[in-house]
Amino acid sequence: MNILQALILGIVEGITEYLPVSSTGHLIVTQRLMGIGFNGEKEAADAFAICIQGGAIAAVLGLYFKHVWQMFLGLLGKSPDGLKMLVNLVVAFLPAAVSALTLEKVIKHHLFGLYPIIFAWLVGGVLILLLCHRNKKNPRPENIKTLADLTWRMALLIGLLQCVAMWPGTSRSLMTIAAGILVGLRTKDAVEFSFLLGVLTLSAATAKDAVEYGPMMLDVFGPAKLLAGFAAAAVSAALAVKWLVAYLQKHGMQVFGWYRIAVALVVALLVWNGVIRDVPEPVAMPHVAAPPAGEG
């Protein structure tokens, strides 16, 4: 991997992390196209893809600092609303944490191939189009809920649906935004809760990989490439988040349904013609386990 490739991966991560299109799926395909992760470097490449999520996390922390500060005040007993928000986020985070600890190896072994990702892209796209069609026929009522109305039970449902996104190609953002709308949140509030929940979920995955695989990743790729990917992810994620909030309030998610179906068909065609190939089994490395799954 060179600096340009690191920047490209960072941009792909930043743009797709919070869009309902699956950042993990896009990163895996991008790595395959650039030939990254072959020759025994798969573990390091997987860790790199997860650690540059830190840039996307930083972008949301900056854009939604008001919510973060309110939650901090809640911990100090100075903001009941902030404390309620923090509790809801922790409740929503717990199912994914438990699922990651118990199913990580199974998911990594069976679902981190191109065909499972293509399938998830396709199914997710169809579901988005069906959801949009349903909402068009049955418009949502005006008295829908805001973040202040969110209960821990509603947050738990969002967290349970987030677990589905452990399947690469599904999209954590898709599942959490759709779940937020399903429990009655306004689109804007569903998106904001999804972003804030992503800070917890992605931070946990990033910290885990940084601790377990950081030395190996830095040894293979070096700190300069990691910093380049981090910075590119931060800038592109900030732009993508601001655009997405404005876009969804006016247009809904239909365009992402068509996009997912299109990218699934294109990638399937590329795989069929041998343009993209799956990474073979990594060369055995002593005392190194398979890295955890990132955001789907």
What pLDDT shows up at residue 229? 93
Give the total number of structural domains in the chain: 1
Residue 15 lies in a domain: yes
* C-alpha to C-alpha distances, 234 to 23, 33, 109, 168, 204, nearest whole angstrom: 14, 23, 30, 22, 17
Residue 290 lies in a domain: no
What pLDDT shows up at residue 291? 40
Average pLDDT for 132-158:
79
Element housing 29 (H / E): helix 23-34
pTM tops 0.85, yes or no:
no
What pLDDT shows up at residue 73? 92
Residue 112 lies in a domain: yes
- Answer whether 258's CB lies under 8 Å from 129's CB: yes
What angle do helix axes 53-63 and 42-51 make, rounded to 10 degrees? 10
Average pLDDT for 134-160:
80
Cβ neighbourhood burial of 160 (10 Å; 0-12, 13-18, 19+): middle
Residue 132 lies in a domain: yes
Boundaries of domain holding 75: 3-272
Nearest-angstrom CA–CA distance, 253 and 56: 21
123 token code pair: 């199914």
What pLDDT shows up at residue 165? 84
Residue 199 lies in a domain: yes
pLDDT digits (tens, 9 = 90+) for 10-53: 999 999 988 889 888 898 888 888 888 666 677 788 888 888 88
50 token code pair: 């997860």
Query: How long is the chain?
Result: 296
Give alpha helix (H) positions in 64-113: 65-75, 80-111
* Residue 185 phi, psi (nearest 5): -75, 150
The distance in angstroms from the start CA to the end CA of the chain is 23
Residue 289 lies in a domain: no
Residue 32 lies in a domain: yes
Q: Dihedral, CA atoms, 158, 164, 167, 172, nearest 10 degrees?
A: -10
* Contacts of range 77-81, beta carbons closer than 8 Å, 24 or more positions apart: 81/148
- Residue 288 pLDDT > 50: no
Residue 287 lies in a domain: no
- Answer whether 123's CB lies under 8 Å from 27's CB: no
Nearest-angstrom CA–CA distance, 104 and 168: 12
- Answer whether 156's CB lies under 8 Å from 91's CB: yes
pLDDT digits (tens, 9 = 90+) for 86-136: 999 999 999 988 887 787 777 766 667 788 889 999 999 998 898 887 777
- Answer whether 143's CB lies under 8 Å from 268's CB: no
Cβ neighbourhood burial of 207 (10 Å; 0-12, 13-18, 19+): middle
- Residue 197 pLDDT > 60: yes
Nearest-angstrom CA–CA distance, 109 and 111: 6
DSSP letters for 226-277: HHHHHHHHHHHHHHHHHHHHHHHHHH-SHHHHHHHHHHHHHHHHHHHTTSS-
